[in-house]
Structure 1
């Protein structure tokens, strides 16, 4: 299993970025790729062409396939507004199956405004993916690291 964090370049500069936290806690599973509109990363394209890849993206027309049935998961790591732009400007993402997760709890991450109801930050999404894929120990480590990270920022 691989989780690809497709990260907007501005996200790298934000101290509130939780994608970096997920990458640091689970480097064997989480790979961070900087989004490039015109020159997509070759390993990301390989995963897309593998046909066992899903885009975790909150849309009304998400596929009914459960996320745990996919080997590779792509997650947009950006603000909600940037993520929408990334999706809209990346034709290579539009061919992917899209899935959503059903969060077990309300997001604990309250640092960013304009967060949609039911929306989770990147680290919380990765925790949910790890749990759904039965990587409970790694999910617990990331959840603990996220709670500490979140408490320091508030």
Structure 2
């Protein structure tokens, strides 16, 4: 299993970026890919073209999500890593992402993330999404480790 964080370059310099927490502590499951509008990552575009990757997308933004049971069928998950505004921009300016099957987390809990403002209701931060996906894919030990790191970071 691989989780690709399609990251806006501004996130690389933000102390509040939660995706960074997951990269070093996920047994190489989480990999960062820097988003480039005019030069999309060839590996991601290929995985989408051959239906080998699913895009995790907000339930407030997704017009055609796939059901939660279908994420089990995918070994490659793409999560857009940026502010909510940047994530919308990345999606809207990336035609290849619009071709990807989309998955929406159905979680009743609100985000616990305190370090950024303007989070939409029901919207989770990057590491919370990663933790949920790991749990769904049976990677409970890594999810627990990341939950602890997130709690310390968010403290």
TM-score range, shorter chain: over 0.9
Partner of residue 94, structure 2: 90
Shift of 1:48: 1.7
Q: Which runs of 5+ in 1 are unaligned?
A: none
Q: 1: CA distance between counterparts of 2:139 and 2:52?
A: 19
Aligned length: 151
Contact 2:68 2:106 in 1 (8 A): no
* Structure 2 length-normalised TM: 0.92
Q: Out of 51-60 and 127-136, give the one that drifted further.
A: 51-60
- Counting only pairs closer than 5 Å after superposition, residues 1-154 of structure 1 correspond to structure 2 as 1-58=1-58, 59-64=62-67, 66=69, 67-103=71-107, 105-151=109-155
**Could you tell me whether the CA contact under 8 Å between 2:68 and 2:105 is conserved in 1?**
no
Q: List runs of 5+ in structure 2 lacking aligned partners.
A: none
Preserved CA contact (<8 Å) 2:5 2:33: yes
Cα-Cα RMSD? 1.3
Q: Distance in 1 between matches of 2:99 and 2:10?
A: 25
User: In 2, distance between residues paired with 1:23 and 1:55?
Assistant: 18
Give 1:62 deviation, angstroms: 1.2
User: How far apart are 1:104 and its partner, in Å?
Assistant: 5.5
Give the secondary structure class of the aligned counterpart of 2:32: strand
The alignment's TM-score, normalised by the length of structure 1, stands at: 0.92
